[in-house]
A and B are shown apart, each in its own frame.
Chain A
């Protein structure tokens, strides 16, 4: 008991000691941050959630919005559920992180004993010379960009060329560009059948590749063409005004161009000095504590998670593990090594779902695949299986949004 008390005292800097209950600030109200805030609150921690926007727009299922299969309002979630539970929600951007306090946009400060950050991604459109995202939307953060791309597709004349480009790894939602290509192809097939989609790729392999290729051959032959890196798929520059997309070996005149640029950890993670030279945040795989700054934990798309992908499911799972670790550390205990699961569904047309799953554990300082576990849906599965997985995708979305936002 005496040892624990000493440990606890050593753990906490002087400003925090004025409060009886340990204070944790969570920055970012997406799937990771909102889940972490609720999980910490359930563990008896006084939590303040800092989020820039009054409502959150979900990226999962936003490809269906682009393709006209779903309305944007179905993607919107607020923070009233968190407030009702007694979680303080501060609707402001975080400007920076100082020693044991967060500085908000208006200059106010929030002290913390431990900080959890779920800052998501920053897009790097400047990595592609000529890119103007108001003309060639990325639509990689749900919101106005999603609707801009949808309007461009709706306004396009039949017979137009849609060019979509996918970045090199790592980036948010590895199967996302391929689900998007599939659902845009579905839109073209059903509304503008003389049109074509070219998917330019800065890599030669991708998530659920065989399943996507099986579906594309069956559903979109001659309509959807994938151009890998080794066939000249890497975009090197664009002429946004002329809607020309240039690769290392050629160029495409697009009617609609959706350029998904390279990414890095969210701005606040960079401002707080939590990123390494890769632009992403190295963390301890047991506690999710930053390797660059003690007392600060990171989860979700911003982190270097080893084998674990940047997905909403992963962020939700990491948030719960991180909350347990933070609570243990606040008690002066060492967090136990976790296992985490990821499951990710993609739609290739309405009623046709495919999945990838993985189980992860800490190994060599990262999260590694548990050998023998995980993998993708079976190739050649019957339509009933594809329909079941499409249904499970919706079940998961209902569950995870309720889990994160109440």
Chain B
């Protein structure tokens, strides 16, 4: 399990725009870089990130080798109803990790 950091408010008013920040600790190895032994290090990156809000996709991103290690993503959404936000990172070598946070809308 990689360490994932997520920041969003625990509560929000209905209709409020909330900011969500995520960061996952990942090497984002490009696949172009020779290692100490001169052999190219195989690519190992996060390729896709999604955020589901009560099972509806509200944000997704495709990640490429040019993106730096420990990718940080920040986006916003409208707080419509109380529920669960699920954050999923998928990538090379079968990488997949999902984290969830609850949001209470008043």
Q: Are A and B in direct contact (Cβ within 8 Å)?
A: yes
Are B7 and A230 within 8 A (Cβ)? no
Q: Are A248 and B21 in contact (CB under 8 A)?
A: yes
Interface residue tally for chain B (C-beta within 8 Å):
10
Contact partner, B25, options A230, A248, A250, Cβ 8 Å: A230
| Given A230-B23, A230-B25, A232-B23: A248 in contact with B70 (beta carbons within 8 A) | no
Count, chain A residues at interface, CB 8 A: 8
Residues of chain A from 204 to 229 with CB closer than 8 A to chain B in the complex:
204, 229
Give A204 to B79 CA distance when docked, in angstroms: 33
Q: Is B41 on the interface with A (CB-CB < 8 A)?
A: no
* CB pair B21 A230 closer than 8 Å: no
Docked pose: A250 CA to B21 CA in angstroms: 11
Is chain B's interface secondary structure helix, strand, loop, or mixed overall?
strand
Q: Interface readout for A240-264 with B: 1 if CB under 8 Å, 0 if not?
A: 0000000011100000000000000
Q: Which of B3, B6, B7 has the most CB of A within 10 A?
A: B7
Q: Which residue of A lies closest to B26 (CB)?
A: A230
User: Which of A229, A230, A232, A248 has its CB near the most chain B CB atoms (within 10 A)?
Assistant: A230
Q: Are A248 and B3 in contact (CB under 8 A)?
A: no
Task: Give B6-27 as 1s and 0s: 1 = Cβ < 8 Å from A's Cβ atoms.
Answer: 1100000000000001010100
C-alpha spacing A230/B22, complex, angstroms: 11
Residues of B within 8 A of A229 (CB): 70
Query: Is A249's CB under 8 angstroms from B70's CB?
Result: no
A229 to B72, CA, bound (A): 10
- Judged by a CB distance under 8 angstroms, whether B69 is at the interface is yes
Contacts of A231 in B (CB 8 A): 3, 5, 25
Binary contact readout B69-97 vs A (1 if CB under 8 angstroms, 0 otherwise): 11010000000000000000000000000
Q: Give min CB distance, B71 to chain A, whole Å.
A: 10
Beyond A204-B70, A231-B5, 6 additional contacts (C-beta under 8 Å) are A230-B23, A232-B5, A248-B21, A248-B23, A249-B7, A249-B21
A residues lining the B interface (CB < 8 Å): 204, 229-232, 248-250
Chain B: residues with CB nearer than 8 A to chain A? 3, 5-7, 21, 23, 25, 69-70, 72
